[in-house]
Structure 1
Amino acid sequence: MDCGLYLYGIFPDSMPEQLALEGMDKQPVYSTIIEGFTFLYSSAKQEKYLASRRNLICHERVLEQAMNEGFRTLLPLRFGMVIKTWETVIEQLTRPHQDKLKDLFAKLAGRREVSVKVLWDSKSELQALLSANKDLKQKRDAMEGKTMSMEEVIDIGQMIENGLLLRKQEVIQAFRDELNSLAKEVVENDPMTEEMIYNAAYLISWDAEAEFSDRVEAIDQKFGDRFRIRYNNFTAPYTFAQLF
């Protein structure tokens, strides 16, 4: 039983009516043109989709496979968007936001989103900080051997915190210096975990990815084992396609 239509994304160009893609609930994926915009969709077998890992990956895979087929410019729609009729899309999206949609397509034309996430071991960084600062290490070690006033404890804690912050900023600035010049736009997001110290998305030209990747690799080699880099070189441009 169909519960409506599940929407994946919007493209500025026409596409084959049926693509060799498998969507949600293993349904075939189709395209249709609504007021000049091409929508990628499949039949919805549920009124509401659980944001499970499997479903999220399926939604993303459809968009990435379409991009791999040569339809590179797209506006990805949020996960779980189910409609009953196309009139809903016309009334709530294409007519009231037509100019905004066209502006977003113009910004994304010929560009792709990549992302960099940097994670480090805070305990290892603390040991490296103490090894490089003998006075701080002595003060810190003294905390374990004698009773200290609250003021002394706070003072040492602030020194350690400031030292780690400087080491963190050194790493972050290296990424900014090497990567930002290749990007049309950069969005620095909040870290997702305590061990993550940098989380950024970049809007770059399609043909700039090879150089971007080389620069990420060079940074990784420069700092050795101090941190781990998660580099995603191919994803739908969610960060830079915000309509609202």
Structure 2
Amino acid sequence: MNNGLYLYGILPAPISEKVVLEGLDQQPVQSYSVDGFNFLYSEAKKEKYLTSRRNLLCHEKVLEEAMSEGFRTLLPLRFGLVVKTWETVTEQLTRPHKEKLQELFQKLEGRREVSVKVFWNSQSEIQGLLESNVSLKKKRDAMEGKALSRSEIIEIGKLIENGLQLRKQAVIDVFRFELNDLAEEFVENDTMTEEMIYNAAYLIPWESESNFSEKVEAIDQEFGDSLRIRYNNFTAPYTFAQLS
């Protein structure tokens, strides 16, 4: 049963028939031109798709494979976009947002999005904080086996929290200092877990990625095992292709 069209992204030119991409529900991915924009799509077998890991990865894979096939510049569409007809696309997207879409293609031409996510172990950091702060460690040690008042517990908690915040800020400042100047644009996103302390995306020229990754590697070496750095050098440019 065909429930409409599932849309993945927009390309500057049609995709070759020789390129074989498999989309959601194992449907073949094709391209279709609407008002001069070329949409990557497959037939939708559902009216709505669950935001499952499997489905999200499939959506991402289609876009990344299209990029691998030479479409360095593309505009990714959000996951789960199903339309009934191409007329809907014209009415709601290409006609009202034509100039903005063209501007986004120009902005992304020759550029790529990379991202850096930084994680630490908060318990290890607390231990490191106590080891480097003798007076705080004495206060913390005094807590053990002693009935403290509520105000004493709150005070020690605040001291530890403030100390951690300073340590975290020092780490973040290193990433900002080393990486921000290498990017034409950068966006700092919300952290997604308690152990994630930094989450940033960068728009850089395609040819400068090796230099950027070397910088990330150097920072990783500098911090050693105290941090985990997740660097993604090949992703659809969601952060910098926003219709505002």
Shorter chain as denominator, the TM-score bin is: over 0.9
1:75 and 2:55 aligned: no
- Which residue does the alignment assign to 1:98? 98
Contact 2:19 2:69 in 1 (8 A): no
Q: RMSD of the alignment, in Å?
A: 1.2
What is the one-letter code of the residue matched to 1:117? K
Q: For residue 149 of structure 1, report the CA deviation from its aligned partner.
A: 3.2
Q: How high is the TM-score relative to the length of structure 2?
A: 0.96
Specify the alignment match of 1:58 in structure 2. 58
1:116 deviates by 0.8
**SS of residue paired to 2:144:** coil
* Stretch deviating more after TM superposition (34-43 or 141-150): 141-150
SS in 2 for 1:19: coil
Q: What runs of 5+ residues in structure 2 fail to find an aligned partner?
A: none
Alpha-carbon distance between aligned partners in 1 of 2:13 and 2:69, rounded to the nearest angstrom: 13
% identical equivalent positions: 70
CA contact (8 A) 1:115 1:232 kept: yes
Q: Supply the AA of the counterpart residue of 2:221.
A: Q
CA distance in 2, matches of 1:183, 1:98: 27
Bigger mean CA deviation after superposition, 59-68 or 12-21: 12-21
Higher share of residues assigned strand: 1
Is residue 18–residue 29 contact of structure 1 (8 Å, CA) maintained in 2? no
Q: Post-superposition shift, 1:147?
A: 3.1
Partner SS for 2:184: strand
Opposite residue 196 of structure 2, the aligned amino acid is M
Q: TM-score of the superposition, structure 1-length normalised?
A: 0.96
Q: Is the 8 A contact 1:19 1:29 kept in 2?
A: no
In the alignment, residue 51 of structure 2 is paired with which amino acid?
A
What is the CA-CA distance between 1:203 and the residue it aligns to?
1.0
Question: 4+ runs of 1 displaced by more than 4 Å?
Answer: none
Q: How does 1:8-157 map to 2 (within 5 A)?
A: 8-17=8-17, 19-157=19-157
Alignment size in residue pairs: 244
Write the distance in 1 (CA, Å) between the matches of 2:209 and 2:90.
36
Q: Which amino acid aligns with 1:80?
A: G
Residue 18 of structure 1: how far off its partner (Å): 6.2
**Is 1:185 aligned to residue 181 of structure 2?**
no
Separation in 1, partners of 2:192, 2:24: 27
Tell me the CA shift for residue 151 of structure 1: 2.9
